[in-house]
Amino acid sequence: MKTVKAQIEVQIRSKEPHRRNWNKKGVIYPGFEVEVIDEKTGEEIDGNDVWYQDKNGDFYWSGGFEIIGKTDISLNVEGVDAKLDWWQKQYEIEKLWTALSTTGEGTEITIIDSGIDLSSIYFNQSKITGVSVVSDTIQDNLGHGTKVASIVAGNGVDFIGAAPGAKLFVIKYYDTALPLAANLIDALKQVPESSDAVVISSGFLSQDISSQQKTTMQAIINKLANRTPIFCSVGDDFNHDDNAFSRYPSALDKTISVASVGKDRLVCSFSTKSDHVDIAAPGAEMKVIGLNNTLAKDSGSSFSSPLLGALVSLFKAKFNDISNPEIAARLVESCDPQTNVQLYGKGIVNPIKTLNSFK
C-alpha cells in the first residue's frame, strides 16, 4: 500500500488500465492524493506501462504521480494479529510487509495442483485466473490445491497468507488422489509469461514417471527457470533412517526443492530425505483453508513450497527491477545454514536476512 500525489492533471479510467473512448471517468488535478491498493500493467505512455488502481477499482497512469508515503500494512489488514499463524510470527512476515510496504500487489504466483475453491470467501476471486488440463474448470474437488494456495494468498477474518495481495494463476492437473506425470507435463506448458514464481506441491517417485517423461519435463523446466523460479515440495516419505529418495519434479535440475521444518526449527519427521533438497521452510501444523470455507491445521512439505513462492511475490513487488530467479537465489543464499544437506539443503529460509541482502 502507498499514497501518491498527482504532479499533473491525470485522467481517471474505469474498468481497465487503458485510454478508451468509453472509460474516461474524470480527472484529478495536481496535488490530489490517491491511495494505491494495486499496480497493473496497461497501456504504455511515454515508455511507462504501470498503472495505479485505487480501492474503487479505478485506474491512473503512474507517470503523473510521485510517491509521498507508504502505509503500514498491518493497519490495512483488520485483526491481523489474530490472523497470523505461528510461522508468520516466528519468521516475521508482518515485519516484512511493513518494511516492503506491500503484500504482493502487482505480482502473480502460479499454483500447479488440484485447483482452487472458486466459492471460497478466503480468496479475492477477482485475482484468480487459471486453466485445467484435466477438466473444464479449475474448481478444486480434493482440497489440496486450495490449502496450498491459501499459504500464498488466503485472506479472511481469521486467516491470512504470506502474500495476500498477489494474483494467482491456478493450473489444475489432477482431479483424483493419484496425479499423473503426463498431466503435469501438460500443466507446465501452461505457465504464463506473467508468472513471478511457480509452486508445485505434489510429485512422483521414480517408478511413477518414465525416463522420457523426466526428459520432457526437464526440457520444459529448463526454459521456465530462465524467467521464473519453480518451487517443488520435496515430499513426505518418512525416510530419515533409509536411503535418500528422489521425487519428481523436485529432483530435476533448475527446480528449487523445499523441505519442511517445525516450530522447533528441526526438520519434520515426514519431510523426505533427498540428495536434491535446496532449502527448508515451515511445514508443520500450518493453518490452511480447505474446501467449503473450512479452517484447518495440516502438515507437509506441500505447505513449505508455497511460502517460498509467496516470498518471491513480496520481494518482486518491491524490487521490480530484479529478476525472479535472482530473488529466489537470494532466498536460498541468505538462509540459516544447516549441516545435513539431505534434510535441510543449504538451510532454513530467513526472510529478514533476505530483506537485508537488498540493502
Q: Both ends of the chain: CA-CA distance in Å?
A: 20
Q: Is 119 a catalytic residue?
A: no
Q: Is 72 a catalytic residue?
A: no
pLDDT at 53: 86
pLDDT at 78: 44
Q: Residue 90 belongs to what H/E stretch?
A: helix 86-90
Length of the chain: 359
β-pairing verdict for 295-298 and 286-289: antiparallel
Q: Is 113 a catalytic residue?
A: yes
Q: Residue 261 belongs to what H/E stretch?
A: strand 256-261
Q: Residues 78-117: pLDDT tens digits?
A: 445 568 999 999 999 999 999 999 999 999 999 999 999 9
Q: Which of 302, 304, 305, 334 is catalytic?
A: 302
- The single-letter code of the amino acid at 230 is I
- Residue in 223, 228, 224, 181 with CA at minimum distance from that of residue 202: 181
- Cα angle 275-196-298, degrees, rounded to a multiple of 5: 60
Q: Where do the structural domains in the chain lie, given as residue ranges?
A: 2-70, 78-357
Grid cell digits, residue 91: 519468521
Q: Which residues of the chain have pLDDT under 70?
A: 1, 69-82
The four Cα atoms 282, 234, 166, 77 give a dihedral, to 10 degrees, of -20
Q: Do the domains spanning 2-70 and 78-357 agree at the CATH topology level?
A: no
Query: Is the bond preceding residue 17 a cis peptide, omega within 30 degrees?
Result: no
- Do residues 176 and 135 make contact, with C-beta atoms less than 8 angstroms apart? no
- Do residues 257 and 118 make contact, with C-beta atoms less than 8 angstroms apart? no
Q: 3-class DSSP state for residue 296? A: strand
Q: Top-level CATH class of 2-70?
A: mainly beta
pLDDT at 344: 98
Tell the burial category of 256 from Cβ atoms under 10 Å away from its Cβ (0-12, 13-18, 19+).
Answer: buried
Superfamily of domain 78-357 in CATH is Peptidase S8/S53 domain (3.40.50.200)
Q: Which of 144, 250, 276, 299 is catalytic?
A: 144
pLDDT at 81: 58
Which long-range contacts (C-beta less than 8 Å, at least 24 apart) are formed by 18-24? 18/42, 18/43, 19/43, 19/45
- What's 245's DSSP letter? P
β-pairing verdict for 347-348 and 336-337: antiparallel
Q: Which of 38, 58, 85, 113 is catalytic?
A: 113
